[in-house]
Chain A
Amino acid sequence: QTVVTQEPSFSVSPGGTVTLTCGLSSGSVSTSYYPSWYQQTPGQAPRTLIYSTNTRSSGVPDRFSGSILGNKAALTITGAQADDESDYYCVLYMGGGISMFGGGTKLTVL
């Protein structure tokens, strides 16, 4: 069974740059999976950051960007801020009405 993979945790210094990735246990992620990214802080609903690989959702700062890097989707945060400390989830559309979340990455800013 296919699994969507993400780094369990990552840390970045304030002002630094970090790239989180979203892969498949078998195969490569392409734009055809319409990768999207969501930010969630404890006790809150998710917030949509990026969709269709690299399109920022309304109101999302431009320090967040999405791309395909090699065989994975990627979320890059440039100039990380303290309030970027959150959990980040990717979603891949698998076709046939089915979507799958990655396991999430806990980002620490310190």
Chain B
Amino acid sequence: EVQLAESGGGLVQPGGSLRLSCAASGFTFDSYWMSWVRQAPGKGLEWVANIKQDGSEKYYVDSVKGRFTISRDNAKNSLFLQMNSLRAEDRAVYYCARVIRSGYSTYYFDYWGQGTLVTVSS
């Protein structure tokens, strides 16, 4: 059974840093692209970042470029999101999601974790 479990959320002051983790199990982790998706309270879903199987390609939504870094440790079946210079508008539930990306034929998120809440407040 595919499972994704996020951790690392919490309360942080504006300008602070936080590192989120996502523990993956039930599938061959290093065969899949992975993503972070967030949802601010009462708002819609927002794609945040993608990372290729070997970590060689990373993509970000403009609002987090230069502040957030997505990474992975395939030996530990883990996905990470390092968040620096946090702002109030980064407050959200952060989900990790497995990506199905197959050449020119498809792209979608097929499995999701339950999310971890990040609160940015003084």
Contacts and interface: CB of A to CB of B under 8 A. Distances in A.
Nearest to B47: A99
Interface in B87-122: 95, 100, 105-115
Interface residues on A, range: 20 to 34
Given A51-B100, A96-B59, A102 B108 contact: no
A91 B35 CA distance: 13
Q: Is the interface of B mostly helix, strand, loop or mixed?
A: strand
Contact of B106 (A45, A52, A96): A52
Contact of B108 (A47, A52, A96, A98): A52
A97 B57 contact: yes
Interface stretch (A11-19, A32-40, A68-76, A77-85): A32-40
Contacts, number: 64
B114 A45 contact: yes
Contacts of A99: 35, 47, 50, 107
A91 B108 contact: yes
Contacts of B11: none
B73 interface: no
Interface string B34-64: 0101000000111100100000011101000
* A-B pairs, 3 with minimum CB distance: A97-B59, A51-B108, A36-B108
Interface of B: 35, 37, 44-47, 50, 57-59, 61, 95, 100, 105-115
Interface of A: 34, 36, 38, 40, 45-48, 51-52, 57, 87, 89, 91, 93, 96-104
